[in-house]
Structure formats: structure tokens, C-alpha cells
Amino acid sequence: MSALLALNGISLSYETASGLVPAVRELSLNLSKGSIACLLGASGSGKTTVLRAIAGFEPLRAGSIELDGTVLSNASTRIAPEHRRVGMMFQDYALFPHLSVERNIGFGLRRWDKRRRSTRVEELLELVGLQGSGHRYPHELSGGQQQRVALARALAPEPELLLLDEPFSNLDVDTREHLAFEVRDILKKMGHTAILVTHNQAEAFAIADRIGIMQDGVIVQWDTPYGLHNNPANAFVANFIRREALMAQRAQAYLRGEAASAVVPGA
């Protein structure tokens, strides 16, 4: 199957007072239509920089980015973000507080005729489980509901690729895990192609078909969740997977302890 998204040896750098600092180095990956991928790594590993480059917010120093055969970026060319057919969902929701839910979702559809826009908004409200909530405002919704609105707004213009930048990081643990599975189900139901960026292994393994473990601006292993767990490419990947799993177990044990103390005073 041919790739919908192709990153071909992309390199990116940041300018500082002392010169260029490499952020991503000769990174390549292919993603087929309908697949969900994740870039997983610690802060500073370059994963968000890759996402921003795909969205069109960062220029490439080398390599190219192609979407469905069209070159979006290379060292000399960069299509503007609004013309890339790429949607983006942010960690802070980025909803307009003065607009209702339905107007937030329809914000990117202002050039559509009123009937078509209204039909699309209703379809998306049903898709994300918020039927009847179009008249409400962001401050009247829970964090999980706000993130569903953000997802609907990102999907509204029917992008070919959806980018999710740490979309669940502002939610509590239970809501985060539940919403991750919900988002995967929604994307799979609609056949959307997406890339998630996170430092949370549980989110990555819940939502992604393929995961890229990043270290110092490169992907050290691009594999299925099963492959990462059972056939780590090197000691870094093995240790990263084990460390993240242990941290998740400790967090869950801590939360269970808090719950027990709340039920039994003085426990």
C-alpha cells in the first residue's frame, strides 16, 4: 500500500546566538491511509518539532514532506499551513471561549453555505457524542467534553491528515485513558489518518497502529506496539518501555492509595 504521508530524510534546526542547533536529523517514515501513528519520547526528543514541520510551522533544512504525492515542504519550498489539508488538535483545546460549541466546530467552514455547514456540524456533534450541546459554551463543558469539541473542529474541514499534539495531557488519568480509546474509535470509524505526539506510553499504546520511539531528533525504532514490547531494537528502547511502564504502575498504585484513604479515614 502506498504511503499517504512520507517524510524523506527531514532535518530541522533552531537558530541560537551561537549558531544552528539540530532538532531533527535525517528522519524518515511512511504512513498509509487510515493508519494512526505516534511519536513517543521524552521532552526535547524532537517529536513536537516533527509535528510542527508537517503542519507547516517549521521550515526544513533538508529532506521533504509529501502528502498523497504532493510535496508540502522541502529545503526550498513550503506550502502554507492553511493549504496543506492537515488538521491539528492541541493540548490546550484552543477553543474560542466567546463562541458556542457549534460555532467553534464550524469555525473552519465559514466558506461553506449555511445548510451544508449546519449539516456537517450536526454530524460531528453526533460523532463525538455531544448531540444537543451545540448551544453550550466551552466553560460549561468538562475537560473531556472540550477535547471532543476540539477533535470535531479539527475534523470539520475533512483534512487528509490529523495531527494531535499531546491532546490528553491536561486531563485527569481516568478521563485521559477513556478518551484515548474513544478518539481511536472515532478516527477508525471515519477512516482518518493521524499522528499523535505524546510522552505517555499508555496513550501511545492505546491509540496507535505504529509507534516511533524518538531520541535526540531521530526515530530509533518505528514499529507496532507488539514489536516494541517484544522485540526492542536496542537497550534504549527496552529501558524506555520498561521505565514508562513502571512509572504508570506506580502512579496507579498511588491513586489507589489515595482512594483507599478517602474511604477509610486515617488509613
Domains, the chain, ordered by start = 3-85+159-263 (3.40.50.300)
pLDDT of residue 248 exceeding 70: no
Supply the pLDDT for residue 267. 34
Query: Which of 210, 218, 193 is closest to 68 using CA atoms?
Result: 193
Confidence of residue 49 (pLDDT cuts 50, 70, 90): very high
- 20-30: average pLDDT: 94
pLDDT of res. 266: 38
pLDDT at residue 178, as a whole number: 82
pLDDT of residue 252: 55
pLDDT, tens digit, for every residue of 148-192?
A: 999 999 999 999 999 999 888 878 777 787 888 899 999 999 999
Task: Quote the CA–CA distance of 123 and 198 in Å, as a whole number.
Answer: 28
Q: Across-strand partners of 19?
A: 16
pLDDT value at residue 169? 82
Grid cell digits, residue 139: 466553560
What integer pLDDT is reported at residue 16 of this predicted model?
A: 85
Name the amino acid, one letter, at 118.
Answer: S
Separation in Å, CA 229 to CA 232, 240, 241: 6, 10, 7
Tell me how crowded residue 227 is: count the other CB atoms within 10 A of its CB: 14
Helix ranges restricted to H, the chain: 47-55, 101-105, 114-127, 143-155, 173-190, 201-207, 225-230, 235-263
What pLDDT is stored for residue 124 in this prediction? 96
188 CB contacts (<8 Å, ≥6 apart)?
Answer: 34, 36
DSSP state letter for 63:
E
What is the model's pLDDT at position 92? Answer: 78
Give the pLDDT of residue 257: 65
Cell numbers 527496552: residue: 238
Calpha distance 4→23 (Å, rounded):
24
Q: Do residues 54 and 12 touch, judged by C-beta distance below 8 A? A: no
